[in-house]
Amino acid sequence: MAVHAYATGGVPRAVFSVANELADRGHEVEVVSVVRTHVEPYVHVHPALKVTYLEDRVNQNPAARNLRRARNNPQRTRLERYLDRRPTQLAEDAYPVFSALTDLQLARKLGAHPPGIVVTTRPELAAAVVRWAPRDVIAVNQEHLTFRARPEPIRAAMYSLRDRLDALVTLTDVDQDRWKRRMNPATTQFATIPNATPFAVTESAPLTSKIVIAAGRLTNQKAFDRLIDAFAPIASALPDWQLRIYGIGKKRQALANQIERLGLVGRVRLMGFTDEFEARLEEASVYAMSSRYEGFPMVLLEAMSKGVPPVSVNCPEGPRQLIEDGINGLLVGKGDVAALSQALKRVIDDPSLRRRLGEGAMKTARSYTIDRIADQWEALFDDLVARRESPP
């Protein structure tokens, strides 16, 4: 169960990657999205996989991107408009899409859920399952953000679930330890299961183009402003190299203004959204990550799957789980723009280093193939079912 399964981004890709594989193995799987903003998901959907939603905002696009305008939409009933202006009861400081209306929708959906397992992708959804699903439903929450990125009211909401939530799955061991300390004592089972790469780890990109690539939502978290600053001296020294940033978001105009102010028009390009990112990675020679924080960066794993050597800031928590500095990529200090620039130039200047780091990146990516990750999910589900059938 996700908030925006029909959106772009790492969470929908991660959800569908595992769901498709489990459906292919013969499991009965349904992906539930709180809202639908596009007719179809951006990713491949297995024929046996059921995809449903609670609220349809397709006809509201692009108005749905503005929450206030979406809530004033005349297509809603008077009661729906009223409820959507009322706060959710699931958690304080909840994600903006949650309201009294989504509470009602979730209560109806979950209240009719048959015995089985529900995996959620946000604490608010975990709270909904614990509150409204029948007691024979096993509740699992997978955290896609770092512990530090969750505000204290959300952490408190998770703490309140500690004796009803069957399992809390994190993307890194560091985050698992932090949640354990915050929720102790708890009957919740903890596990670390990273995301899987959606790309086949077979043939490396040529690494001969003069392109540095980056991707993600154009938001403060991704810190593309720092990446553009880091690339500026490279553009001056190596005028035939480009930085291409893929993604959409509210920071686009600010980044475009920054590019113009620094005289980087044509050298740093905001490429928008692409549904052919695998092909775009194969055109690149270096992947750059400048984020202020990451859970488990899917896009970084995707780049490594194609043998594109990553250069990343050492932000909490994901990059350092994937990158071993000097072996399969380069790590620099968090927020150190000068060091990021120097590391990028080092990989750009040295084709043999690019190839060596790319080979190491692909070796790492093979540990995150979907078959291995799905095996871990199946093992967790089997264990949770056994615990329910034979309680201590």
Q: Are residues 50 and 191 in the same domain?
A: yes
**360 domain residue, yes or no:** yes
Q: Is residue 320 part of a domain?
A: yes
| Same domain, residue pair 35 and 155 | yes
Q: What is the CATH number of the domain that holds 161?
A: 3.40.50.2000
- The verdict on residue 1 lying in a domain is no
- Could you tell me if residue 115 is inside a domain? yes
User: Residues 187, 269: one domain?
Assistant: no
The verdict on whether omega for the bond into residue 317 sits within 30 degrees of 0, i.e. cis, is yes
Write out the two tokens for 194. 């990273």
173 and 230 co-located in one domain: no
**Average pLDDT of each block of 10 consecutive residues along the chain (392 residues)?**
91 94 97 94 94 87 45 70 93 94 96 97 97 97 92 95 95 93 93 92 95 96 97 97 96 98 97 94 98 90 97 91 96 95 98 98 96 97 93 67
Does 2 map to a domain? no
List Cβ neighbours of 188 (8 Å cut-off, separation of 6 or more): 161, 162, 163, 165, 166, 167, 168
Q: Residue 316: which domain range? A: 211-368
* Residue 359 shares a structural domain with residue 221: yes
Q: Is the Cβ–Cβ distance between 295 and 145 less than 8 Å?
A: yes
Q: Which residue has the tokens 């193939």?
A: 369
Task: Give me the pLDDT at residue 9, please.
Answer: 82
Same domain assignment for residues 215 and 180: no
Report the pLDDT value the prediction gives residue 316, as an integer from 0 to 100. 82
d(CA 248, CA 255): 11
Q: Is the residue at 203 inside a domain?
A: no
pLDDT at 67: 47
pLDDT of residue 63: 41
Query: Are 378 and 310 in the same domain?
Result: no
Give the per-residue pLDDT at 57: 84
Same domain? For 347 and 223 the reply is yes
Pick the closest to residue 193 from 317, 375, 49, 31 (CA basis).
Answer: 375
Q: What is the pLDDT of residue 74?
A: 54
Structure tokens at 239: 């005028």
pTM for the predicted model, two decimal places: 0.84
Same domain (yes/no): 375, 310: no
- Whether 267 and 332 map to the same domain: the answer is yes
- Same domain, yes or no, for 122 and 42? yes
Cβ-contact 11, 34 below 8 angstroms: no
> Is residue 5 included in any domain, yes or no?
no
pLDDT of residue 126: 97
Q: Is residue 41 part of a domain?
A: yes
Same domain, 17 and 117: yes
Q: What is the pLDDT of residue 389?
A: 87
The pLDDT of residue 318:
83
Name the β-bridge partners of 268: 243, 265
Stretch (H or E) spanning 249: none
The distance of Cα 54 from the centroid of its chain, to the nearest Å, equals 21
Count of domains observed in the chain: 2
133: alpha, beta or left? (left if phi > 0; alpha if psi -120 to 50): beta
